[in-house]
Amino acid sequence: MTFDANPAAPQTSAAVGVDAVLVLGDDVRRRMYDFVRRARRPVTREEAASDAGISAKLAAFHLDKLVAAGLLRSAYGSPGGVRRVGRKPKVYEPADTDIRVSIPERHHDVLAEILIDAVLTEEPGGDARSAALRAARHRGQELGAAIRARTRPGRLGPERSLKVSETMLEQHGFEPYRPASTELRLLNCPFHPLAARSPELVCGINHAFVDGFLAGLEAAGIRAVLAPRPGHCCVELRAASGGQNPPDPAADGIGCARENGTPPVDDPGNTP
């Protein structure tokens, strides 16, 4: 059987997560969702209705709401492998999604993946911090190249580069905003509060990731710079003077302390 899930289900933004939580706010619907998860097999609306003590018609309504929210997926099949005469019943099983709600957005999974890549690719005799910066830049570069291949934007000047970057940074929870037409600041660090444990390392990873994204996107005329501000992410995007792109931060170990001479945040506890 082929299962259908809501196209928006793979998204993990705060808005999608909140919508999913709202759907589960109904007691009957939450019980049905738990029943489907515990079943460990596709279940019919009649089975779900029997467990919840409601009609099959009402059960179908609630189950389809759960499908629309990306929590379940549905198909027409024979539950338990039992073949029946006539049309196959509609069955439901848990969707293969990870719904999370965090306001402001946090993406500790991305940080963990970067650090795992760093461990797996660290060269003999190398240092862990340089490996982490290389892994972060590589991840950003892959993302930028993928977006360029998908959208085929042609030559990207400063304005279009900032626009594309703004969309990506919004999707990754950085909360970008423009104080000026040639500048993009980031109001949120998606790696907080872990950033407070090692501000220099995490700010360097943020910088390498965004800088790598710009390289993969082949963005011209803008650069990622370290500009720590209380209550902000330490990275900003600015128009590059003379249209030159910035150097590779992973190549020379640029980090918050090295570039600024001080930790990136005066009081890590005040970072959002």
Instruction: Kindly state whether residues 179 and 129 are assigned to the same domain.
Output: yes
Is 24 a member of any domain? yes
**According to the model, what pLDDT value does residue 161 have?**
93
Instruction: Kindly state whether residues 141 and 29 are assigned to the same domain.
Output: no
What residues have CB less than 8 Å from 153, skipping those under 6 apart?
160, 164
**According to the model, what pLDDT value does residue 194 have?**
87
CB atoms within 10 A of CB 62: 23
Per the structure, the count of domains in the chain is: 2
Instruction: Kindly state whether residues 231 and 125 are assigned to the same domain.
Output: yes
Instruction: Kindly state whether residues 87 and 128 are assigned to the same domain.
Output: no
- pLDDT tens digits for range 13-25: 566 677 788 888 8
Instruction: Kindly state whether residues 253 and 121 are assigned to the same domain.
Output: yes
- pLDDT tens digits for range 224-259: 999 988 889 999 999 987 544 444 433 333 333 333
Is 103 a member of any domain? no
Is 8 a member of any domain? no
Lookup: tokens for 127: 């240092």
Chain-centre distance of CA 99, in angstroms?
11
Is 2 a member of any domain? no
Residue 18, domain extent: 14-94
Name the domain boundary from 94, 123, 145.
94
Is 159 a member of any domain? yes
Q: CATH number, domain at 51?
A: 1.10.10.10
Convert 117-150 into a string of H (helix), E (strand) and C (coil).
HHHHHCCCCCCHHHHHHHHHHHHHHHHHHHHHHH
**According to the model, what pLDDT value does residue 124 have?**
86
Q: CATH number, domain at 160?
A: 3.30.1380
pLDDT band with cut points at 50, 70 and 90 for residue 8: very low
pLDDT band with cut points at 50, 70 and 90 for residue 82: low
Is 66 a member of any domain? yes
Instruction: Kindly state whether residues 214 and 249 are assigned to the same domain.
Output: yes
